């Protein structure tokens, strides 16, 4: 009990010079006494003292937290979540007075006024909503600004993986960004960064926004295709990160839209950090300027397991392998090639010979061009 009476005398010493609210007074000693309620301790220590001015440290901020709780409730009313965290912005003068008092009376190992305000807010928010406070990795983070009386909310991004099959030609894989904001998100595009939803990216994004809410999406594609390409078989895998989602666990089904089918949608931890290894089975319709010589056709088989070198403008060189190859002559100037190749082989350049070696045009000794190419399947290794 000597500890308590010692504390009482320090508390009274402080109170004689500085009027403190129950919270701020209790906070200075609650840890020492292993008590959880600063307010109750403060009230007890203050017995016999009557406040005549606002609290020296917080200017009675602790008695106005309901206003900020209301801001938190309002800003999160459209979000479905389980866990949350709170960050606080307060006037530096409050922090300064808190520091001054703690150092003057050599009070160590206690919560700062800022920490305590955050704790009080979280206590009330949890009581009101039954949401769980998670300071490490919350789904929703509130930044409560007590200087300008605002509350901002940040929702942790979600990543979804899936596959798509594109069964009609004439649609691009990627959506062009909103003209007004170049993809950052603005009022014109409803903060989505895209204002049309016609491409593969657009259609998937639209579905994602419907399921998860959110502002912008960021795609990681496992390979790419042309506007005129089909994507068949089990489809092309993709990852999509959803920024600022308002729903976190919607029911995900396979979906079909005009030319696009979307399969195997599921939540994942994050998009792959490194490019994934994958193989593409590609059907390419090739036309030649000179007539096709069958001895050249036979030489196609030599491409299997020969490294195909690709030279980039940057000076970088990389190589891709072809694992399997079949061909069929359709006419004097046209044949179909079906290859299974390492993902990322630039198909059109491989045919024309544009900084790719070996290539089809050189092999046939005549300019060749890929009229169209389709992905029959994509296998992730």
Give catalytic residue positions. Answer: 226
Count CA atoms closer than 13 A to 224's CA, side-chain side: 13
SS3 44: helix
For the CB of residue 59, give the shortest distance to Zn ion in the complex, in Å: 7
Nearer to Zn ion by Cβ, of 121 and 222: the residue is 121
Name the one range near Zn ion by CB under 5 A: 52-60, 155-163, 295-303, 364-372.
52-60
User: How far is residue 161's CA from residue 238's CA, in Å, rounded to a whole number?
Assistant: 6
Q: Is 259 helix (H, G, I), strand (E, B) or coil?
A: coil
User: Contact with Zn ion (CB under 5 A): which of 14, 21, 300, 351?
Assistant: 21
Q: Are 189 and 161 spatial neighbours (Cβ–Cβ below 8 Å)?
A: no
d(CA 120, CA 63): 11
The residue among 186 and 232 lying less far from Zn ion, judged by its C-beta, is 186
Q: Which is nearer to Zn ion, 58 or 292 (CB)?
A: 58
Residues 246-265 close enough to bind Zn ion by CB under 5 A: none
Q: Least separation, in Å, of the C-beta of 45 and Zn ion?
A: 13
**Shortest Å distance, C-beta 57 to Zn ion:** 5
Report d(CA 164, CA 312) in Å as an integer.
29
How many residues form the binding site for Zn ion (CB under 5 A)? 11
Peptide bond into 133 cis (omega under 30): no
**Would residue 128 be called left, alpha or beta, if left means φ above 0 and alpha means ψ between -120 and 50 degrees?**
alpha
State which residue, 26 or 237, has the beta carbon closest to Zn ion: 26
CB of 46 to Zn ion, least distance (A): 11
Residue 324 belongs to what H/E stretch?
strand 322-331
| Residue number with CB closer to Zn ion (58 or 69) | 58
CB-based contact 62:68 (threshold 8 Å): no
Contact letters (x/-) for Zn ion, 164-203, by CB under 5 A? --------------x-xx----x-xx--------------
Using DSSP's 3-state secondary structure scheme, residue 19 falls into coil
**Position among 55, 204, 347, 351 found at the interface with Zn ion (CB under 5 A):** 55
Question: Would you say 180 and 188 are in contact if contact means Cβ atoms under 8 Å apart?
Answer: yes
Quick check: 58 binds Zn ion (CB under 5 A)?
yes
At closest approach, how far in Å is the CB of 121 from Zn ion?
14
Residues that bind Zn ion in the complex, under the rule CB under 5 A: 21, 24, 55, 57-58, 178, 180-181, 186, 188-189
């Amino acid at each position: 009990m000597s500890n308590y009476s010692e504390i009482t005398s320090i508390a009274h010493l402080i109170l004689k010079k500085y009027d403190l609210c129950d919270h701020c007074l209790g906070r200075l000693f609650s840890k020492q006494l292993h008590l959880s309620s600063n307010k109750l301790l403060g009230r007890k220590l203050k017995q016999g003292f009557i406040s005549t001015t606002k609290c020296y440290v917080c200017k009675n901020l602790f008695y106005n937290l309901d206003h900020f709780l209301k801001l938190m409730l309002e800003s999160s009313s459209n979000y479905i979540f389980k866990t949350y965290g709170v960050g606080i912005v307060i006037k530096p003068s409050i922090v300064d007075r808190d520091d001054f008092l703690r150092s003057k009376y050599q009070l160590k190992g206690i919560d700062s006024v800022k920490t305590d305000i955050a704790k009080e807010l979280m206590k009330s928010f949890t009581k009101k909503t039954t949401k769980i406070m998670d300071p490490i990795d919350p789904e929703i983070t509130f930044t409560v600004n007590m200087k300008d009386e605002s509350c901002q909310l940040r929702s942790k991004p979600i990543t979804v993986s899936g596959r798509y099959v594109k069964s009609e030609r004439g649609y691009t894989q990627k959506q062009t960004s909103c003209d007004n904001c170049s993809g950052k998100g603005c009022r014109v595009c409803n903060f989505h960064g895209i204002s049309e939803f016609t491409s593969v990216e657009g259609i998937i994004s639209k579905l994602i926004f419907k399921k998860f809410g959110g502002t912008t999406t960021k795609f990681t594609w496992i390979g790419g295709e042309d506007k005129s390409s089909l994507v068949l078989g089990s489809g092309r895998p993709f990852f999509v990160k959803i920024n600022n989602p308002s729903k976190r666990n919607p029911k995900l089904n396979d979906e079909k839209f005009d030319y696009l089918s979307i399969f195997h949608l599921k939540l994942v931890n994050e998009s792959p950090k490194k490019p994934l290894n994958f193989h593409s089975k590609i059907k390419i319709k090739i036309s030649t300027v000179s007539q096709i010589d069958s001895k050249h056709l036979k030489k196609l088989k030599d491409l299997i397991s020969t490294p195909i070198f690709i030279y980039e403008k940057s000076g970088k060189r990389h190589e891709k392998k072809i694992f399997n190859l079949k061909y069929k002559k359709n006419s004097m100037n046209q044949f179909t090639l079906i290859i299974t190749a390492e993902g990322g082989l630039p198909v059109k350049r491989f045919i024309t010979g544009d900084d790719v070696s070996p290539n089809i045009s050189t092999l046939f000794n005549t300019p060749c061009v890929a009229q169209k190419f389709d992905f029959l399947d994509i296998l992730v290794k």
